[in-house]
Amino acid sequence: MTQAPTAAKNSRRRHDREIIALALPAFGALVAEPLFVMVDSAVIGHLGTPQLAGLGIAAVLLMTAVSVFVFLAYATTAAVARRVGAGDLQAAIRQGMDGIWLALLLGAAVIAVVLPAAPWLVDLFGASDTAAPYAITYLRISSLGIPAMLVVLAATGVLRGLQDTKTPLYVAVGGFTANAALNVGLVYGAGLGIAGSAWGTVIAQCGMAAAYLTVVVRGARKHGASLRPDAAGIRACAQAGAPLLVRTLSLRAVLMIATAVAARLGDADVAAHQILLSLWSLLAFALDAIAIAGQAIIGRYLGADDAKGAQEACRRMVQWGIVSGVVLGVLVAASRPLFIPLFTSDEVVRDALLPALLVVAVSQPISGIVFVLDGVLMGAGDGPYLAWAMLATLAVFTPVALLVPVLGGGLTALWWAMTLMMAVRMVTLWLRARSGRWIVTGATR
């Protein structure tokens, strides 16, 4: 009579240990990433307003150029984890090397575009005459580090697939520390100004890439995996990543549309919207850590032909997502008297911010489910479905968001539209998870 409940409890505990072991270091690494830009902003901010404005424009362009290739991490994690589950570490690392070679090729292509197009890109973002030269300088120098940034993404995916999220945390902390020291030394010590900040970031990113490559190459030699580029393998990585690229671009389109709508509502509303978007992104890091654990765990179970284990892990992670979302929502609602004054003293902005902040709090349990199921389906290699689901979500969100200013709605209405977007994502992902069609076992999907 007691064996079944005991077995279920032991299963939950096993999944909990796996989730915590992978998610906590992943969260630390995720939080370290935006600190690069924050350090640059803090250092350059003391040079003057035009320099800081130039950094703001260049940083947005740089992060956009890198973030669209986040599939290098996601697709590599899933593919490597499957082979780990199948017990073939040599093939797992070989798969990871294909992803790293693809990252280098894409990085070279981005440099070829950004270097000559930098003045046009900066002008497209409406940079002032005083800020534009600084933005162009920072963008051109920093673009030289894009291949290293993409290698970091791909190599992070390799280690996550190998069930290692601690090494990425150590590398991220080391990279952040080096970036801070280099920025201060080159900007002020060497007197290089904004160019020194850009070079500091490039050097730190190259150092991070070198650290990752050292770990991956050591693993390749240990298990006899080839380090040479393989055209077929690189092409397979690109094909696996293409649907996730569509998903990422669709999600960024949602955020761009939301910002454009907020801008039409007025200065106070767009200022409040940017504060909310920053908070929303920070909360996403916490939930994305569980999703990263999901990618690695689900891929491993499916690679080991353990469909039941994958289903159990999925159910447990959804429970984690719901609980995490509820906790984050309560924290946001409870801390709003402390949070709002940190960002603005403008009463008009505060009035716009308060009700919309409560909407963000209410939506967190939905976000928890969405992030987890997103990670589960990525771990299963179900990229095509994720692409179509996000396109459908974009199709629903766009007209609703555009109607907000037409119907006289304010920022709160816009964030209800954002909540609708997350709800649509939740429904599409839940239907897929419930169908079981994502469960395809074996070393490859």
Structure tokens at 25: 């270091």
Cα-Cα end-to-end distance for the chain: 39
Could you tell me the pLDDT band of residue 261, with boundaries at 50, 70 and 90?
Answer: confident
Using DSSP's 3-state secondary structure scheme, residue 13 falls into helix
**DSSP code per residue over 261-304:** HHHHH-HHHHHHHHHHHHHHHHHHHHHHHHHHHHHHHHHHHHHT
Which range has the worst mean pLDDT, 3-12, 96-105, 359-368? 3-12
Structure tokens at 141: 């120098």
The mean pLDDT value for 28-52 works out to 76
144-174 residue pLDDT tens: 999 999 999 999 999 999 999 999 999 999 9
CA-closest candidate to residue 132, choices 43, 204, 35, 61: 61
Structure tokens at 158: 């390799």
The mean pLDDT value for 61-82 works out to 89
Helix axes 411-435, 231-265, angle to 10 degrees: 150
Could you tell me the pLDDT band of residue 445, with boundaries at 50, 70 and 90?
Answer: confident
Could you tell me the pLDDT band of residue 38, with boundaries at 50, 70 and 90?
Answer: low
Using DSSP's 3-state secondary structure scheme, residue 126 falls into coil
pLDDT value at residue 1: 45
Sign of the alpha-carbon dihedral angle for 160, 30, 17, 167: positive
User: How far is Cα of residue 10 from the mean position of the Cα atoms in its chain?
Assistant: 32
Using DSSP's 3-state secondary structure scheme, residue 165 falls into coil
How far apart, in Å, are the Cα atoms of 386 and each of 137, 285, 430? Answer: 37, 20, 12
331-350 residue pLDDT tens: 999 987 777 776 667 777 77
Cα separation, 115 vs 132, in Å, equals 15
Q: What is the dihedral of CA 436, 162, 80, 174, to 10 degrees?
A: 120
402-414 residue pLDDT tens: 999 998 888 899 9
pTM of the model: 0.88
Structure tokens at 312: 């159990």
Dmax over CA atoms of the chain, in Å, equals: 77
The mean pLDDT value for 85-108 works out to 94
pLDDT value at residue 3: 57
